[in-house]
A and B are shown apart, each in its own frame.
Chain A
Amino acid sequence: MVATPASPPAPALRPLVGFLLILVALLGLWEGYKLLGQSTGGTIPFTDVNLPVRTDDRSLPHIWEIVGSILAPAQRGSEEPLGLVLARASFVTFREALAGFAAGSTIGILLGLAFVRSPLVERGLMPWVIASQLIPLLAIAPMVVLWAGRYRLPLWIAVAVIAALLSFFPVTVNTVRGLRSPSPTSVEMLRSFAASPTQELRKLRIPASLPYLFTALKVAAGASVIGTLVGELPSGLPDGLGRQLLTFSYYYGSGPEKLFAAVLFSVLLGVVFVALVGLVERLVIPPARRVQS
């Protein structure tokens, strides 16, 4: 444990201050890079090697243009700012991602428990679990959407299935790792007073696995957002962020800053989701254990 000196800012605000500093630095880099490119005509200074990313306003819009587009009306003749449209789309995507995340995590935890209970099940299923992660997502997404259509399931379920497919894997792997984390001596300690296998699980293995589980849940939260976005593209769901990304990439030429704005919202959605999981983690695991593992 590291002692924190009692100087401002308050410890609770420190991560926020760090975050803001880095944000400012990134924004500075962005604009600095543009400035550099414009002063040299797009090459690395003192050479005639082109900069890796073009710096014109189409390839790399100014920050204020992106922010401006978020505040400006989304379409001509409409009052609604783009930001509001994107926020609404984000919420739709979030709901789908949440459903996929919940399903994926539940499956992941159950698989993890089954694997630890029975090495036979683990040896039989593990190759398939790994194979499931090697399926090209772009290929399977339209298929899942088609299947959902066949059975007249709502489209958002198809999207959630894809999100679940991405998010169950880290949860499975880390649940197994976490449940196996107690030392053999700890297990012997419990057996010495005749703890049953269920008691061993409840009193030792599950509590020991929580830090591992939450690490996985954070990864799964991010993965479920990615899965949802990819799933939304072929599904034709009109309300989610995936559709917005698609639309703005069509019209990139006339308004690149709008695509950047949509990308920004996608990233923010992932960040917020991961942060929410982190919040739950703080409630579940006492601080001292978080530091240790």
Chain B
Amino acid sequence: MTTVVTIKGVDKVFPSRKGADTVALRGIDIEVASGEFVSLLGPSGCGKSTLLRIIGDLLPPTSGQVVVNGKTPAEARRDRDYGMVFQQATLLDWRRVLANIELPLEVAGQAPAERERRAREMLDLVELNEFADHFPWQLSGGMQQRVAIARALTLQPELLLMDEPFGALDEMTRERMQMELMRIWQQTANTVIFVTHSIPEAVFLSTRVVVMSPRPGRIVGVVEIDLPQPRQFETREEPRFFEKLVDVREMLRGAEE
């Protein structure tokens, strides 16, 4: 298996004028292999979003090294290796759904016909074909997030970075979206790094869960989730699933002491 992301000794310090600098991350080492689904799990403020943004070249690390597909994050971003999904869907409300999904293709300079073909394919993938001509505010929160996922996947990125994409959704929608994401992940064979602070969500989705400590964020450990693939609705009811929940929970608790 090829390595997609290598993170070595990454620190992140947010300087502050009053001298009380915020150490957000300390000594982060992670390797992510192609096709993996890795969750970053930890309490609020432990630096999950910061780490994700460092990987995605939206923020520079204070020290340490990040390699993505053998390149620096800046090069990887320029090559459009990333698809990103945030807690807010960030759809442009003056564009219809289809045009929202076309946005990355437009930015990449693709021809209109090709753009539309590809965007419709993505709309198929997230099962929202009937809503191509709707405006974002005519969709439910879950549907908006599916559009955001479709948009993130249009350029067929190597690496999907997701920052609490389902954090704003209710529990039932959330579980449906998790199933949906599993199906999409199976179909696209993407590598995913997924930020969450929900333990069941991390265990259900991931092949590995990276557990982080409260600030300054460090990695306390990694739990391999070797539950059978594809994950199904029943996965959540299996005894093995509960065992993994307990493993992760104990690791989290250990981190807080």
Contacts and interface: CB of A to CB of B under 8 A. Distances in A.
Nearest to B76: A194
8 contacts: A185-B90, A188-B84, A189-B90, A191-B77, A192-B77, A193-B104, A288-B93, A292-B93
Given A188-B58, A203-B103, A288-B137, A193 B90 contact: no
Interface string B63-93: 0000000000000011110111011101011
Interface in A170-228: 183, 185-186, 188-195, 199, 203-204, 207-208
Given A183-B88, A193-B82, A289 B58 contact: no
B113 interface: no
B108 interface: yes
B88 A185 contact: yes
Nearest to A286: B94
User: What is the predominant secondary structure among interface residues of chain A facing chain B?
Assistant: helix
Nearest to B82: A192
A197 to B, nearest CB: 12
Contacts of B79: 194
Interface in B130-162: 135, 137, 152, 155, 161
The 8 closest A-B pairs by CB, nearest first: A192-B84, A193-B104, A189-B90, A195-B107, A186-B90, A185-B86, A185-B90, A207-B94
B90 A199 contact: no
B106 interface: yes
B217 interface: no
B47 interface: no
Nearest to A211: B94
A106 B28 CA distance: 51
Given A195-B107, A289-B93, A289-B94, A188 B86 contact: yes
A213 B90 CA distance: 22
Interface in A72-100: none
Contacts of B94: 207, 285-286, 289
Given A185-B86, A204-B92, A190 B135 contact: no
Contacts of B84: 188-189, 192
B56 interface: yes
B195 to A, nearest CB: 13
Contacts of B88: 183, 185
Given A192-B83, A193-B83, 13 more contacts: A185-B88, A189-B90, A192-B58, A193-B108, A194-B77, A194-B78, A194-B79, A195-B107, A203-B106, A203-B107, A204-B92, A207-B94, A285-B94
Contacts of B87: 185
B80 A194 contact: yes
Contacts of B78: 194
Nearest to B155: A193
